[in-house]
């Protein structure tokens, strides 16, 4: 399978525009996330058992940058084709695409790097080529890009030995949307949500360094310096409360969260896991003392305290649940 699921649109067409070489990439700047207005960032929350309703509601509630006329790169969780939350549920993916199209996105490309599975196998198992043909979007396999399309990112404060590389489309796209799952991670990450989703924009060859490092969780946060999503939509209908990321002990969360701040989204997700009841690594550590969160805050990637997060809801059930999460965050 080629790295394009829909014929007629080449990778070159997708990335053309602002063709910045690696030498032009700013290497020394922290704090890629803009400070929230009034010191707060909003998290849209919808308590629901319906993925399409959840996506529709949180995208309606949240104020985010207009997408009209812009090319969008949509980053899912496609490590494997395991059922949600092992991978992004097709209903969630499809509804986000519909919402972006209804907001007049110029083009949408779903892009990821799989691992440990191979991308063609994952796409086929999840029937993504069929969805792409029907819904009108393109698919890029980062793992199939040539070496020249992996751009280096360096900074002297990184815990990565020689920095890391990210795909040219991630660097040069006009608008990035990410859709993480809500789950624990048994292989050292502790949890995998919006910050951890960024591991999929690094090449597979760097995974040995990441997984062997005592700084793994810090390194996960540091990948997020290389790009900034305009919108994050997290599916928490089903969560892993232990195990993960592919399989694990699952529990119903029946919640959708959306935001523009990766730290705030992950903090809210951790509060959901605490409310449900998860493993000791989640329950025994305050949200803002989780190492991924701590490092992300140090790097200026998002808010640093519970009182900087404001939940927005549209119904009584969602409002009551948001109050529960807010109370958990305050205690963390």
pLDDT number for residue 83: 97
HSE, CB side, 13 Å, CA atoms: give it for residue 250: 15
Would you place residue 124 in the very low, low, confident or very high pLDDT band (cuts 50, 70, 90)? very high
To the nearest 5 percent, what fractions of the chain are helix, strand and coil?
40, 20, 40
**Rounded CA gap, 268 and 276, in Å?**
13
The per-residue DSSP string of 205-274 comes to GGHHHHHH-TTHHHHHHHHGGG---SEEEEEEEEEEEEE-SSSEEEEE--EEEEES-HHHHHHHHHHHHH
What mean pLDDT comes out for the span 66-82? 97
**pLDDT at position 23 over 70:** no
Predicted local distance difference test score (pLDDT) of residue 292: 98
pLDDT at 36: 53
Domain 47-331: give its CATH architecture: 3-Layer(aba) Sandwich (3.40)
- What are residue 165's DSSP bridge partners? 152
Tokens linked to 253: 């969360």
pLDDT tens, position by position, 227-273? 999 999 999 999 999 999 999 999 999 999 999 999 999 999 999 99
Helical residues (DSSP H) of 62-184, grouped into ranges: 90-102, 119-125, 128-135, 168-172
The chain-wide mean pLDDT, for the chain, equals: 90
Average pLDDT in the 147-165 region? 95
DSSP conformation letters of 291-303:
HHHHHHHHTTSS-
Give pLDDT tens digits for 174-225.
Answer: 899 999 999 999 999 999 999 999 999 999 999 999 999 999 999 999 999 9
Task: With cut-offs at 50, 70 and 90, classify the pLDDT of residue 2.
Answer: very low
pLDDT score, position 285: 98
């Amino acid at each position: 399978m080629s790295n394009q699921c829909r014929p007629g649109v080449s990778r070159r067409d997708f990335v053309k525009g602002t063709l910045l070489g690696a030498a032009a990439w700013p290497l020394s700047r922290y704090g890629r996330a803009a400070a929230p207005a009034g010191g707060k960032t909003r998290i849209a929350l919808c308590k629901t058992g319906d993925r399409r309703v959840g996506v529709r509601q949180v995208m309606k509630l949240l104020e985010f940058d207009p997408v009209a006329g812009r090319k969008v790169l949509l980053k899912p969780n496609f490590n494997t084709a395991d059922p949600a939350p092992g991978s992004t549920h097709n209903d969630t993916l499809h509804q986000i695409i519909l919402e972006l199209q209804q907001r007049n996105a110029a083009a949408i490309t779903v892009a990821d790097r799989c691992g440990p599975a191979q991308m063609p196998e994952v796409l086929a198992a999840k029937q993504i080529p069929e969805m792409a043909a029907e819904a009108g979007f393109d698919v890029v396999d980062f793992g199939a890009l040539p070496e020249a399309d992996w751009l280096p990112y360096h900074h002297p404060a990184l815990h990565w030995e020689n920095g890391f590389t990210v795909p040219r489309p991630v660097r040069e796209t006009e608008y990035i949307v990410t859709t993480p799952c809500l789950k624990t991670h048994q292989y050292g990450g502790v949890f995998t949500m919006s910050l951890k989703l960024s591991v999929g924009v690094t090449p597979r060859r760097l995974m040995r360094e990441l997984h062997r490092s005592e700084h793994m969780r810090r390194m996960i946060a540091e990948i997020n310096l290389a790009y900034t999503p305009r919108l994050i939509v997290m599916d928490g209908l089903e969560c892993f409360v232990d195990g993960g990321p592919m399989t694990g002990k699952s529990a119903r969360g029946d919640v959708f969260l959306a935001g523009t701040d990766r730290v705030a989204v992950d903090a809210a997700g951790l509060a959901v896991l605490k409310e449900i009841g998860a493993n000791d690594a989640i329950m025994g550590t305050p949200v803002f003392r989780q190492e991924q969160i701590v490092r992300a805050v140090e790097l200026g990637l998002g808010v640093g305290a519970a009182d900087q997060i404001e939940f927005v809801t549209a119904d009584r059930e969602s409002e009551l649940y948001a109050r529960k999460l807010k109370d958990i965050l305050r205690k963390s």
